[in-house]
Amino acid sequence: MKQHATWIAMAVVSLAVLAGCGGNQSAAIPDPTFTNEPQKAKIVGSNYKFEVTQGELKAGQPVTLTLEDQSGAHGFLITNTNINEKLKSGEQKTITWTPDKPGDYLVVCSVPCGSGHSSMQAKIVVK
């Protein structure tokens, strides 16, 4: 029973940390009838491509976006947003992004990184 309570406490703390990114501390405990997980996506950059892994992203809801640079120095620029994170090889960064409109968002490299620079492109679909 004590272990069970510890698990619950850990889950609540995790949620509080996630919610803290959005700056709204009071919304840490979600309505139990609302089953949507927080949205997550990951963009992996390397010489010379981007790969996006994601669930279905919905407009108007925050996305926890993990950016990971596996090789080379690249800029993670998402079109029609103000996201432009420049990372070095081996770096990872997590940001929160709320796509305001449905549509296709392109991920392109904003750092001149070499011969394959212009071919670095991936797509995030928001519904």
% helix, strand, coil for the chain, step of 5: 20, 40, 40
Residue from 117, 123, 124, 125 in contact with Cu ion (CB under 5 A): 117
Among the listed ranges 22-30, 31-39, 82-90, 101-109, the one in contact with Cu ion (CB under 5 A) is 101-109
* Max CA separation in the chain (angstroms): 59
Q: How far is the CB of 116 from Cu ion (least distance, A)?
A: 8
Rule CB under 5 A: is residue 109 a binding residue for Cu ion?
Answer: yes
- Residue partners of 4: CB distance under 8 A and separation at least 6: none
Tell me the closest approach of the beta carbon of residue 113 to Cu ion, in angstroms: 3
**Sole window of 4-12, 36-44, 88-96, 102-110 interacting with Cu ion (rule: CB under 5 A):** 102-110
Of 63, 113, 124, 126, the one binding Cu ion (CB under 5 A) is: 113
Q: Work out whether strand 39-46 and strand 63-69 pair parallel, antiparallel, or are unpaired.
A: parallel
Strand partners, 49: 46
Least distance from C-beta 94 to Cu ion, angstroms?
A: 21
**Which stretch in 34-42, 55-63, 96-104, 105-113 sits in contact with Cu ion by CB under 5 A?**
105-113
Please state, in angstroms and as integers, the Cα–Cα distance from residue 83 to each residue in 39, 76, 95, 103, following that order: 17, 7, 9, 16
Cβ 120 to Cu ion shortest distance, Å = 5
Place of tokens 């609302």: 34
Q: Binding residues for Cu ion, per CB under 5 A?
A: 109, 111, 113, 117
